[in-house]
Amino acid sequence: MPDRLPIVVAGGGPGGMAVAVALAQSAFDVVVIEREPEFPVDLRAGSFHPPTVEMFDALGVGEAMREAGIKVPVWQVRDRRAGVIAEFDLGLLKNDTPYPYRLHVEQHRLTRFLGARSDDLPNLDLRFSTEFVSYEQHDDRILVTIHGPGGTETIDAGYLIGADGGRSGVRKQMGVEFEGFTWPERYLVASCVYDLARHGFAMNAYIADPVEWAAIFKMPHNGPPGLWRLAIPVQPETPDDIALSLPFVRERLHGFQPGLGDAEIPYHSIYRVHQRVAKTFRAGRVVLLGDAAHINNPLGAMGLNSAVHDAVNLAAKLREIRDGGDADALLERYVRQRRGVTIEFVQAMSIRNKRLLEERDPEVRKQRLDELRKTAADPKAAYTHLLGTSMIASLRRAAAIE
Ligand SMILES: Cc1cc2nc3c(=O)[nH]c(=O)nc-3n(C[C@H](O)[C@H](O)[C@H](O)COP(=O)(O)OP(=O)(O)OC[C@H]3O[C@@H](n4cnc5c(N)ncnc54)[C@H](O)[C@@H]3O)c2cc1C
């Protein structure tokens, strides 16, 4: 790649901003184009795993994220009627990570902290209200056409990174299939000013139930009783406008925990959920990461964590290429590593998590919950389980893929 050419990142979401900061810190010229007029207030992700928190340090946002977030050292799997089935203490990982907890903080805070890094990085050019239009590949460069407030422009770039989310226009232009499926139910996510801890809930808990499973996360909030986010399924026959109406939301919350439906609900929304992985993450000088490359259900909190893992991995490969490494070989290794663990870990685990929570066959349900109870009770098995659920195992696996 000619030395002076910038790298264009399509999409200023958390994945795009992570790769942009990682590259700009390594003295690359980076242009980020974000369609929205400012970073969107996206409330989807809220739970970060220990290795991702370590990566925040390398991206210069570790302290800000830890200060803004809630540290969650213990999470539970529960049965909606019988209560706690298994409790996992991330303290078991204290020799594997300096941050043995999940960090709860809204994803738009991460994006903003990353965006603020541009104050110290003059080579990070952030352009809002600017959309990716198309690209044209050449042997030694890629021409990226964008459209922003000043009109249409073509950037002579070294690489284009598609970090433009699940409906990625970059992926579509690559003509790469987004293989997988969409779940029939949507997820209703409601944030309530209420203290679920007084009913025995850990700050992160997954609640199995054959009729209505749930996932809960305590989120940052000014003072007691705290803000608790609850995700529950909405069946296909319920239209969005009904599912989003407050009486419907309150009734469901009451059903989960009497009194919860009376709480203040500062925000609630509904999401369609998919399991999809792009057939490849790369075509020549175009590389995909984050939701543009893979999407999964949020049970286990792995989507955005994976986007950050992709970003850090890809930035390292681009550094090696600049230092004289073989571009084709290195970018193909990125694809093998990140696509490999997406399929082997993230897709498999998120599907398994959902199946565990929603299982209807009483025998299978009992067997799975009993297995989990045993795992939690055996420190060795619990440790292995935590390496997997905290995404440490997937990163170690990726590093071992040649
Ligand atoms: C209910 C729910 C809860 C979740 N909770 C978690 C969690 O706790 N932990 C976790 O790890 N993950 C979680 N996820 C997943 C997480 O939200 C996503 O994986 C994450 O947002 C992916 O980040 P991204 O930057 O790849 O994509 P996005 O966040 O989708 O960002 C893409 C950006 O690209 C911009 N864009 C799109 N098209 C263009 C274009 N043509 N030109 C310019 N810009 C464009 C968009 O405006 C956007 O800003 C959750 C998902 C859901 C639905």
Q: Is the CB of 46 under 6 A from ligand 1?
A: yes
Whether 3 shows a pLDDT value over 80: the answer reads: no
- Tell me, in angstroms, the distance from the centre of ligand 1 to residue 88's CA: 28
Helix (H) or strand (E) holding 396: helix 392-400
Helix (H, G, I), strand (E, B) or coil at 348: helix
- Tell me, in angstroms, the distance from the centre of ligand 1 to residue 283's CA: 22
Atom 20 of ligand 1, nearest CA residue: 304
Helix (H, G, I), strand (E, B) or coil at 288: strand
Q: Are 401 and 336 in contact (CB under 8 A)?
A: yes
For residue 70, the cross-strand partners are 104
Q: Is the CB of 228 under 6 A from ligand 1?
A: no
For residue 146, the ligand 1 atom closest to its alpha carbon is: 42
Q: What is the pLDDT of residue 297?
A: 97
pLDDT digits (tens, 9 = 90+) for 60-98: 999 999 999 999 999 999 999 999 999 999 999 999 999
Q: What is the pLDDT of residue 52?
A: 98
- Tell me, in angstroms, the distance from the centre of ligand 1 to residue 147's CA: 21
Whether 2 shows a pLDDT value over 60: the answer reads: no
pLDDT digits (tens, 9 = 90+) for 122-145: 999 999 999 999 999 999 999 999
Q: Is the CB of 261 under 6 A from ligand 1?
A: no
Q: Is the CB of 208 under 6 A from ligand 1?
A: no
Please classify residue 307 by burial: count the beta carbons closer than 10 Å to its beta carbon, then call 0-12 exposed, 13-18 middle and 19+ buried: buried
Q: Is the CB of 215 under 6 A from ligand 1?
A: no
The Cα-based distances of 147 to 73, 154, 218 in angstroms read: 45, 9, 40
- Tell me, in angstroms, the distance from the centre of ligand 1 to residue 138's CA: 30
Q: Are 103 and 116 in contact (CB under 8 A)?
A: no
Q: Is the CB of 303 under 6 A from ligand 1?
A: yes
| Residue 12, number of CB atoms within 10 A of its CB | 26
For residue 47, the ligand 1 atom closest to its alpha carbon is: 8
User: What are the φ and ψ backbone dihedral angles of 62, each rounded to 5 degrees?
Assistant: -60, -50
- For residue 333 the two structure tokens come to 């290794």
Average pLDDT for the chain: 96
pLDDT digits (tens, 9 = 90+) for 9-57: 999 999 999 999 999 999 999 999 999 999 999 889 899 999 999 999 9
Helix (H, G, I), strand (E, B) or coil at 319: helix
Q: Tally DSSP H helices, then E strands, for the chain.
A: 13, 20
Q: What is the pLDDT of residue 259?
A: 92
Q: What is the pLDDT of residue 240?
A: 94
Q: What is the pLDDT of residue 222?
A: 84
- Tell me, in angstroms, the distance from the centre of ligand 1 to residue 13's CA: 6
Closest CA to 340 of 397, 379, 269, 381: 397
pLDDT digits (tens, 9 = 90+) for 179-238: 999 999 999 999 999 999 999 999 999 999 999 999 999 999 988 889 999 999 999 999
Q: Is the CB of 17 under 6 A from ligand 1?
A: no
User: What are the φ and ψ backbone dihedral angles of 335, each rounded to 5 degrees?
Assistant: -65, -45
Q: Is the CB of 128 under 6 A from ligand 1?
A: no
**Domain coordinates of the chain in residue numbers?**
7-70+105-179+276-358
Q: Is the CB of 162 under 6 A from ligand 1?
A: no
Q: Is the CB of 10 under 6 A from ligand 1?
A: yes
Q: Does domain 7-70+105-179+276-358 have CATH number 3.40.50.300?
A: no
Q: What is the pLDDT of residue 223?
A: 84
Q: Is the CB of 51 under 6 A from ligand 1?
A: no
Q: Which of 21, 31, 35, 44 has most ligand 1 atoms within 8 Å of its beta carbon, as the pocket-test mutant?
A: 44
Dihedral, 95, 98, 100, 103 alpha carbons, nearest 10: -160
How would you label 82-107 residue by residue, b for 16+ Cβ within 10 Å and e otherwise? eeebbbbbbebbeebbebbbbbbbbb
Cα–chain center distance at 105:
12
- Give the mean model confidence (pLDDT) for residues 160-173: 98
- Tell me, in angstroms, the distance from the centre of ligand 1 to residue 308's CA: 11
The Cα-based distances of 277 to 35, 41, 178, 294 in angstroms read: 23, 25, 5, 4
- Tell me, in angstroms, the distance from the centre of ligand 1 to residue 1's CA: 29
Q: Is the CB of 11 under 6 A from ligand 1?
A: yes
- For residue 134 the two structure tokens come to 């198309």
Q: Is the CB of 35 under 6 A from ligand 1?
A: yes
The Cα-based distances of 338 to 54, 84, 314, 330, 394 in angstroms read: 18, 34, 9, 12, 9
How would you label 133-167 residue by residue, b for 16+ Cβ within 10 Å and e otherwise? bebeeeeebbebebbbeeeeeebebbbbbbbbbbe
Q: What is the pLDDT of residue 221?
A: 92
Atom 21 of ligand 1, nearest CA residue: 304
